Amino acid sequence: MDQDLAFAKTSYGVGSRLKHPPTPEMRAFFQGIYLDHVDGPAFQSSIEINIAHVLMLKEESIIGADVAVALLKELEALRQRGAENFEFDAGIGDSLPNLENHVIQALGDRTGGMLHIGRSRGDYYGTLSRMKYRTHMLELMDHLLEFRRVLIRLVEQHPDSIMPGYTHLQHAQPITLGYYFCAYVHELERDFARVANAYDRLNVSPLGLGIISSTSYPLNRQRTAQLLGFRGLLRNGRDLTDRDYAVEAGAAATITMIHLHKLATDLYEWATSEFSMVRVDDGDALTSSMMPQKANPVLLEEVRVKTAMVIGDLVSLVTMVKGSPANNIEQTSGDIPALDAIDRTTASLKAFSAFLPRVAFDLKRMEHLVALHWSQATDLADTLVGGTELSFREAHRVVGALVASSIEKGIAPQQVSLAELDAAAKSVLSSPVDLTHVNLAEALDPRRAIERRQVEGGPAPSLVRAAAREALQQFKADSAVVSDRKGQLSSSRDALFVEAKKLTHD
């Protein structure tokens, strides 16, 4: 009987509402959902939540100074001890009762039992969850910035390195390598903005809302939010357990991975013998155990694999939380795939940032390919519109007929004559057209095609250089955003410990 009573004191409700201790299945539940995911940062965040709560309770005269001092000293001892030296017991439950039980055993029921006054698992874990996301998302933002820095450098290096532009994996129009990478710079700028905006939306404190309708104690929620580095409050207890911020963060990570997948796929294809446009560094390749000629670009494959995993994480996440009411376990479990998605995306960015500068681009091969497969056809059609009385649609038909006949005869674009252009025009037009003013050589020059594209957002080298300068400015502005968020969290954490030391006179 005494043993049962001792156990009852360590586990919520056992010996009062619940007549039996947790079964092996319940222990496995607590271990898998909660305790297996308590790393060092999460443990420290748990202690910080408790310290902030105790400081606020003392400031609002909900607990006395002697109780507050005792609690703070014991919490500081736990903080110094660290997660690696704290033994969690799934029989007690999740990490919250484990920590509270330790404090109660150290200080007794009357003092240690005041730690949980005015709060619930709901607001506690909601707060801890958001603090976890802040850490993981700041790291993701760091690596989004680093990958953008790598891309911007490539844009600056290759504003006029000519290459084929592809649509449907077919030659479309001439572009430059710098222009190609600049597209990914802009995509990752949006990815960064999505993550940063998601961070700001989740950085509000649920602490003090209990589990659904707050508490009758006069808590100062603004104070605990300030001490924990939150910029505002969650405004409704019924909204407490919603994990839309997890979905938003997971979706932002997924969109980023889709962008990385596109880039990895292009490089993967360009590294084939058929394209021969890029060569992966030997240190980033893997040869075959049978075929000695192989240099397989496995890091690119890994990015593609992780994209599938992150998409799977997002599907798991939205399936978990789609219809879960209140504080059902699906909401808490949603953190597992969401944080996995963020961490996998961070790892992919980190690897890609190191990998990409080691890729060798065959610029001569790219320039050779761009002239072979009629990527200048649109420019020839535009030239016909400017040098004749043809409409664009008529010119489009003429050039289409010229391309078809040239492919059939095995004539390269640079070998086409005015006579062949005239024959194509006669085959599709109802009346003859004067083509004597058409400069075929200039119209079919891929480099001139790029230089003519001066429309804002086009591939003209001068525009690409300007875009690189603008991207660098945006990079600096976004770097300041991350520095501000980190600085705010650091300042709040410092202030939290200063206030605790003032009260305990340590």
433-442: per-residue pLDDT in tens? 988 888 999 9
Q: Is 279 helix (H, G, I), strand (E, B) or coil?
A: strand
The tally of CA atoms less than 13 A away on the side-chain side of residue 467 is 28
pLDDT digits (tens, 9 = 90+) for 187-236: 999 999 999 999 999 999 999 999 889 999 999 999 999 999 999 999 99
C-alpha 303 chain-centroid distance: 13
Q: What is the pLDDT of residue 434?
A: 87
Domains 122-153+182-364+466-495 and 377-444 share a fold: no
Question: Distance between CA 283 and CA 356 in Å, rounded?
Answer: 12
Q: Distance between CA 202 and CA 485 in Å, rounded?
A: 13
Q: Which amino acid is at 462?
A: S
Listed by start position, the domains of the chain span 2-117, 122-153+182-364+466-495, 377-444
Which two three-digit tokens encode residue 465? Answer: 């250089």
Query: Mean pLDDT lowest for which of 91-95, 335-339, 486-490, 498-502?
Result: 91-95
Which residues share a beta bridge with 171? 166
Closest CA to 130 of 18, 215, 46, 4: 46
Residue type, 303: V
Neighbours of 166 (CB within 10 A): 16
Lowest mean pLDDT among 283-297, 393-407, 469-483: 283-297
Supply φ then ψ for residue 18, to 5 degrees: -100, 130
**The CATH number fitting domain 122-153+182-364+466-495, selected from 3.30.420.40, 1.20.200.10, 3.30.230.10, 1.10.620.20:** 1.20.200.10
395: CB partners within 8 A, 6+ apart: 381, 382, 384, 385, 388
Task: Decide: 125 and 332 in contact? Cβ < 8 Å.
Answer: yes
CA separation for the pair 375, 459 (Å, rounded): 14
Q: Is domain 377-444 classified as CATH 1.10.10?
A: no
Residue 226 amino acid letter = Q
Is the pLDDT at 4 greater than 60? The verdict is no
pLDDT over 90 at 321, yes or no: no
* Cα–Cα distance, 298 to 289 (Å, whole number): 14
Token digits for 79?
């903080």
**Domain 2-117, second-level architecture:** Orthogonal Bundle (1.10)
Tell me which of 136-150, 185-199, 294-308, 317-331 is least confident. 317-331
